[in-house]
A and B are shown apart, each in its own frame.
Chain A
């Protein structure tokens, strides 16, 4: 079985929602759409208060290089443009839309027919991806069209589709594979054409045998697309680890996957690209998982961007009594939700309900020097050293110890018997190093 070489751990899988079909979540009364839902420069707002919009209409336009378009997920009237709270409790500019009916722009194909024939060429596809505001649905929300503009002198050899879903609890990619199989494959064909590559790999962890079986069957119909079963080990789905597991190539420190001729995309992104190119549909909804140990409604939902999280929770009967913490994303890398009124974004992949017992962090004791964090780090770093440097605010030293190579997978924190806040501190170091680098670039 293929896997990455160093480090890694195996948290409890807890994929409770894996058997529930994707349901379409009803429209909320008011949608709150953040203007900037992508990584990079802010996009320019095109609409104003009181304006009527239809589903699919452009709300904000990308003007910078690393930037993404934003389309209206709702039809209705814009009641205000104001600041709304995001999941971490900070305020960001958002468009509030009072939902009236569900009227789509006419050029969007809403039928379920699968269009297999690809009419566009590489440039047109990338243009389409840009126009429809597709961002990487793996979590980072990096604008996909930017990834597809291969820098001069480099050549993409392989397209790698990340369907690993190594995070415990999450099942949205798994359900998408089972229910939107053909769309995903057509999407991959489109991506291959856009990138001008011959070969595509789909990496799936071996704890999803049904998905591997179904995808392998389909892959026979599509030439040069291969399903690669991978060992169930966290973080198998991290970009650099996945590239190594499949191609045995190592991405150099501080470099992008294109350095070794690979482009990695999430499975959800391939479906979004299919919908954008073949159906003309912008990125206005995504599949997310509502799950947790004591949650009655284990759901996979197709939710429009900008649906308030509490409306989803209330719709399925509220939270269980012993709820200790809510997380958006997986338990390893996700972010704790500090305000339940926050709306979903393009990359919200789950609402994870953690009970009181598990929500408590371990008591912090002294480092035992056991070296477990070093053993599990998939990037081969020394988390305890980085954490100590960060605690002493020695950002430059942390940079020399390759803190920026940390992928924030959380293995070190998960495994530490002393409950040291390793990842917390490394994250702070990374953000400060980023600031230092920006200052240096200014000079």
Chain B
């Protein structure tokens, strides 16, 4: 019986001494952490995609708490709902940001370019980009090897087998920007989703002179400037033989797309025009 008592006594003593030491150590090395950080990171989706520009959701939460405002802070995955939740946790007002979506600014692919060579190397855009221009000869165009597909955590990009080009699933894309960094040719851009998801953009990033670009790809932007003349809102700039539409200025009037001689300007989710409607009707009747 005595042995038992000793054992219990000694262990209790050790426990008490350790507890005292731990108490003082904890006091000494205490790190104050704002409790709001936990609350904010709970409100975030937890995908850790890095779309906000921070290393993960926790880092983003820390940044928000430190900044005490939501100016320039946006979680593209959660969107408006998440941000308003965060705002209520923080007790501040949410800043409205327009939702964005990734767009692929190349329309070359298998259909609009003629393959002059076959690439037989590693199936990775980064390696192919270092090795040669592209199968069709365009030094800026999409290589179609799918680095953007691999990097997408939301399964929102896939390669269309027919065209050999990546396509974005608008519903799934959260505009985290992972594909934008993964693309060695800077083809993918995050643009405003637009009213009723309607967008207009130049689907080309080729900076070669018009003739050279056209030789390799039938839908290349040749930098002719017709779209710039047509635009009433000063939204189009031409630099290095390439037109660019500023999505903040663009009013979706569709005048530029009509003017474009190569069809490099893309309109997405617009209703069909009268003439086009008739053509489709005729086709279906035939």
Residues on A lying within 8 angstroms of B by beta carbon are: 83, 85, 88-91, 336, 338-339, 359-361, 421, 424-425, 427-428, 431
Contact A424–B137 (Cβ < 8 Å): no
- List CB contacts (< 8 Å) of B121-168 with chain A: 121-122, 126-127, 130-134, 137, 139
Closest Cβ of chain B to A25, distance in Å, is 25
Contact B117–A338 (Cβ < 8 Å): yes
Contact B121–A431 (Cβ < 8 Å): no
Chain A contacts for B209, CB-based, 8 A: 83
Closest Cβ of chain B to A96, distance in Å, is 14
> Which of B116, B133, B137, B209 gathers most chain A CB within 10 Å?
B133
Instruction: State the CA gap A88–B134 with chains docked (Å).
Output: 9
> In the complex, which range does the number of interface residues on chain B fall in?
10 to 19
Instruction: State the CA gap A267–B132 with chains docked (Å).
Output: 30
B212 at the interface (CB under 8 A from A): yes
Instruction: State the CA gap A52–B258 with chains docked (Å).
Output: 46
Known: A83-B212, A338-B116, A425-B127. Is A88-B122 also a contact (CB below 8 A)?
Answer: no
Across the interface, B130 reaches (CB within 8 A) one of A338, A359, A360, A431, namely A431
Across the interface, B208 reaches (CB within 8 A) one of A88, A91, A427, namely A91
Closest Cβ of chain B to A399, distance in Å, is 17
Instruction: State the CA gap A85–B130 with chains docked (Å).
Output: 15
Across the interface, B133 reaches (CB within 8 A) one of A90, A425, A427, namely A90
Contact B126–A83 (Cβ < 8 Å): no
Contact B121–A89 (Cβ < 8 Å): no
Contact A88–B133 (Cβ < 8 Å): yes
Contact B208–A339 (Cβ < 8 Å): no
Closest Cβ of chain B to A32, distance in Å, is 14
B120 at the interface (CB under 8 A from A): yes
Across the interface, B131 reaches (CB within 8 A) one of A85, A88, A360, namely A88
- Nearest first, the 3 closest Cβ-Cβ pairs linking A and B are A89-B133, A338-B132, A421-B122
Closest Cβ of chain A to B63, distance in Å, is 24
Closest Cβ of chain B to A356, distance in Å, is 11
Known: A91-B139, A424-B127, A425-B127. Is A359-B132 also a contact (CB below 8 A)?
Answer: no
Residues on B lying within 8 angstroms of A by beta carbon are: 116-117, 120-122, 126-127, 130-134, 137, 139, 208-209, 212
Contact B139–A428 (Cβ < 8 Å): no
Contact B122–A424 (Cβ < 8 Å): yes
Majority secondary structure of chain A interface residues (helix, strand, loop or mixed):
mixed
- Known contacts A90-B133, A361-B120; 17 additional CB pairs below 8 A are A85-B137, A88-B132, A89-B117, A91-B212, A336-B132, A338-B116, A339-B116, A339-B117, A339-B137, A359-B120, A360-B120, A421-B121, A421-B122, A424-B127, A425-B122, A427-B130, A431-B130
Closest Cβ of chain A to B48, distance in Å, is 17
Contact A338–B133 (Cβ < 8 Å): yes
Instruction: State the CA gap A421–B139 with chains docked (Å).
Output: 23
Contact B139–A90 (Cβ < 8 Å): yes
Nearest opposing residue in chain B for A361, CB measure: B120
20 contacts between A and B (CB under 8 A): A83-B208, A85-B133, A85-B137, A88-B131, A88-B132, A88-B133, A89-B137, A90-B132, A90-B139, A91-B139, A91-B212, A338-B116, A338-B117, A339-B133, A359-B120, A361-B120, A421-B121, A427-B130, A428-B126, A431-B130
Closest Cβ of chain B to A394, distance in Å, is 14
Contact A424–B121 (Cβ < 8 Å): yes
Instruction: State the CA gap A425–B120 with chains docked (Å).
Output: 14
Contact A428–B208 (Cβ < 8 Å): no
Contact B139–A89 (Cβ < 8 Å): yes
Nearest opposing residue in chain B for A427, CB measure: B130
Instruction: State the CA gap A210–B127 with chains docked (Å).
Output: 42
Closest Cβ of chain A to B150, distance in Å, is 11
Known: A89-B133, A91-B139, A421-B122. Is A428-B117 also a contact (CB below 8 A)?
Answer: no
Closest Cβ of chain A to B235, distance in Å, is 29
Closest Cβ of chain A to B191, distance in Å, is 27
Instruction: State the CA gap A360–B121 with chains docked (Å).
Output: 10
Chain A contacts for B132, CB-based, 8 A: 88-90, 336, 338
Chain B contacts for A339, CB-based, 8 A: 116-117, 133, 137
Instruction: State the CA gap A361–B126 with chains docked (Å).
Output: 19
Chain A contacts for B208, CB-based, 8 A: 83, 91
Instruction: State the CA gap A91–B137 with chains docked (Å).
Output: 10
Contact A428–B133 (Cβ < 8 Å): no
Instruction: State the CA gap A85–B134 with chains docked (Å).
Output: 12
> Which of A361, A421, A425, A428 gathers most chain B CB within 10 Å?
A428
Chain B contacts for A336, CB-based, 8 A: 117, 131-132
> Which of B120, B126, B132 gathers most chain A CB within 10 Å?
B132
Instruction: State the CA gap A425–B208 with chains docked (Å).
Output: 29
